């Protein structure tokens, strides 16, 4: 009887350990930005201005480029140098929603309190040279239109 209870007990422990050690990949967040979207991207030109986005492993930042009488110039100072609404300057982590769709959030939950712009975003990769971003703001909710970016 002792042997039978010992065998059953060891089987129960072994069964729970084997089931409990399987990873759940469906809701896994990965640190940084996906490799497929890293690099320099730009918006289309409107009214002599476009924005350049740079996605590195952990951060993204953007700046404005304007056309003057002397050609295209990057603004380096002042409020006009960035687009504050569409800025996500946080260390990021992402979750893959489908084959070419990524859901990106800050690594720390409290970080969105100190930002004027987006607190999370969805990125839709259409091709190797084209992607779209949909921003979410705590104040306004999800954006109604996509911002298209082109590989620079």
The answer to the question of residue 146 being in a domain is: yes
Domain containing residue 46: 27-151
Domain of 36, CATH number, reads: 2.40.128
- Taking the C-alpha atoms of residue 44 and residue 46, their distance in angstroms, rounded to an integer, is 6
In-domain check, residue 40: yes
* 81 within domain boundaries: yes
Does residue 13 lie within any of the structural domains? no
User: Structure pTM?
Assistant: 0.71
Is residue 87 included in any domain, yes or no?
A: yes
Most confident of 1-15, 56-70, 98-112, 117-131: 117-131
Q: What is the pLDDT of residues 31-88, one digit of tens each?
A: 989 999 999 999 898 888 888 888 888 888 777 788 888 888 887 665 555 655 566 6
Tally of structural domains, the chain: 1
In a domain, 102, yes or no: yes
Residue pair 121/136 in contact (Cβ under 8 Å)? The answer is: yes
């Amino acid at each position: 009887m002792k042997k039978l209870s010992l065998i059953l007990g060891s089987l129960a422990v072994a069964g729970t350990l084997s089931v409990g050690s399987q990873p759940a990949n469906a809701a896994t967040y990965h640190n940084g930005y996906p490799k497929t979207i890293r690099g320099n991207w730009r918006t289309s030109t409107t009214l002599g201005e476009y924005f350049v986005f740079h996605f590195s492993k952990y951060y993204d930042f953007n700046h404005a480029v304007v056309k003057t009488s002397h050609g295209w110039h990057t603004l380096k100072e002042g409020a006009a140098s960035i687009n504050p609404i569409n800025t996500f300057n946080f260390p990021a982590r992402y979750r893959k929603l489908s084959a070419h769709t990524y859901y990106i959030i800050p690594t720390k939950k409290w970080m969105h309190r100190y930002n004027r712009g987006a607190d999370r975003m969805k990125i839709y990769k259409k091709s190797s040279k084209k992607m779209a971003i949909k921003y979410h703001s705590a104040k306004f909710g999800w954006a109604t239109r996509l911002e298209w970016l082109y590989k620079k």
